[in-house]
Amino acid sequence: MTIQTQSLPASRAASVQKVTSAGGLQAWLVEDYAVPLVAFEFAFKGGCSQDSPAKAGAASMLSALLDEGAGPYDADAFHRAMDDKAVEISFSAGRDSFNGRMKTLTRHLDAAAGLLRLAVCEPRLDEDAIERVRSQMVASLKREAKDPDALAGKAWREAAFGSHPYALPSRGDLETIPAIARDDLIAMRRRLMARDNLKIAVVGAIDATRLALLLDEVFSALPAHGDLAVIPDVDMASMGERKIVDLDVPQSTIRFGLPGLGRKDPDFWAGVVINHILGGGVFSARLFREVREKRGLAYSVHSQLMTYDHAALFSGGTSTKNERAGESLSVIEDEIRKLAEDGPTEDELDKARKYLIGSYALRFDTSTKIAGNLAHLQVEGYPVEFLDERNNHIAAVTLEDAKRVARRLFLGKKLLVAAAGRPVGM
C-alpha cells in the first residue's frame, strides 16, 4: 500500500505536533487528511547490537515472529485478520534499533490498532512459527554462503570491528540460528521492547486527541523500562589490510572503508557533501565517472557515510571482473587521494549542495516516508527543528570547509578492503 500525502509546508517542523498520552507515551504527529490513511512508525533503541555472540540473529528472528501469531490468533488467523482490513504490520531489526510500522485505512484504525497491540504486547512465539522462521533464515544464510556481496561484507565487517557487537552478522549464521530457543526470544523481547526505549511517529488522518488514546491502547502494557546491554564506542580497525574470500566466480565484489564522522561531529555535513562528490550514487560522482564511464570497469560503484550509535564509517563498494579488480581498486584509491590533496572544485561543490538540498523533499512525499523519517530523527537524537535546519547545514558548507574535511577524512589513510571472488592484482 502506497500512502500518498500532500507536501509538508515550507517549515516542516511547524507541521509536527508533539503528542503525550495520559500514560506518558510521546509521539510526533503530522495530521494530513488528503487521503483517509494513517501510517505508524516506531522504534526501540537496541537492535542487533544486543545479540550475544552465541545467539547472533536473535533480534532479527524476533522481528520476523511478532506478526506470526499474537493473542488469540495463530499465525494464519493473524494474517487473515490483517488481510480482512487491508492492514499492514511489519517489524525489522537494525544495528541500533528494533523497528515496527503499521499502515491502515482510517475506517479500520481501531481494528488495526488492536492487532498492533497484540503483536507488540502479546506475541505468541509459537514453536511451529519459530521453526518455520528458523528454516527460512537458514535457507537464506545457505544462499548467502555463495553470495560474493554477503561474503565480502562479512569479511569487511569482521576486520573492521573485531570482537565488537557490530562485527556480528545481524541475521546470525548457520551456527547461531539453530541455537536460538524460544526463551532467548522472550528474553530479547523483554530487554528491547519497553516504554522508556520507544520513539513513535504518526502521519495521516488522525488528530492528537485520538492518537493519545491509541498510544496508550497499543503500548501501555509494555514494561516501563528495558534492560539493554551497554555497547561501547568502537574505532574502525585494520586500515590498510586486504581480506580476500576465495570464491570461484567470474567477478570480484569489493568492499572498502575508513573511519568516518559521527552525526554530531561539527564536520559531518561537510563530510556528507564530500561523499556525494566522491561516490554518492549520482552520475556526476567522481567514482562513477572514473570507474564506469571512462574505463568500463564496473556497472556501479558507490560510497557513503555510515553513522551507528557507537561507530562512524566511510564505506563503499563495487563489483568487477576478477582480472580487473586490482585496476578498479587502484582507480578508487587514486580518486580518494586526489580529493584529499586537492579538494573539490567550486562547480562540484555547488552541484552537490543543490542536489542534496533539492532531493531532501523526496524523503517527505508520502505518509510512510514522513513517518519513517520522523521516527529516525528521534532515534538519532535530533530535535524536530532539524527538519528545517538540515538544508541550512548543507548550504553553509564552503569550499574551504570541503577541502579541509576531505583532508581530514582521506589524507594519508589506507583503505581496509575485503573482496570475494578471485581478484587479480590485489
Mean pLDDT of the chain: 96
Q: Sheet containing 26-31: which strands, arranged edge to edge?
A: 17-20, 26-31, 198-204, 37-45, 97-105, 88-93
The pLDDT of residue 10: 66
Complete domains list, the chain, with CATH: 13-219 (3.30.830.10), 242-421 (3.30.830.10)
The pLDDT of residue 282: 76
pLDDT in tens, 335-361: 999 999 999 999 999 999 999 999 999
The pLDDT of residue 2: 36
Percent of the chain topping pLDDT 90: 96
The pLDDT of residue 281: 72
* Plot region of 93 (φ>0 → left; ψ -120 to 50 → alpha; else → beta): beta
pLDDT in tens, 407-418: 999 999 999 999
Give the mean model confidence (pLDDT) for residues 179-190.
98
The pLDDT of residue 6: 39
Query: CA torsion, points 13, 14, 16, 19, in degrees to nearest 10?
Result: 120
The pLDDT of residue 283: 85
The pLDDT of residue 400: 98
Query: Is pLDDT of 33 > 50?
Result: yes
pLDDT in tens, 259-293: 999 999 999 999 999 999 999 977 889 999 999 99
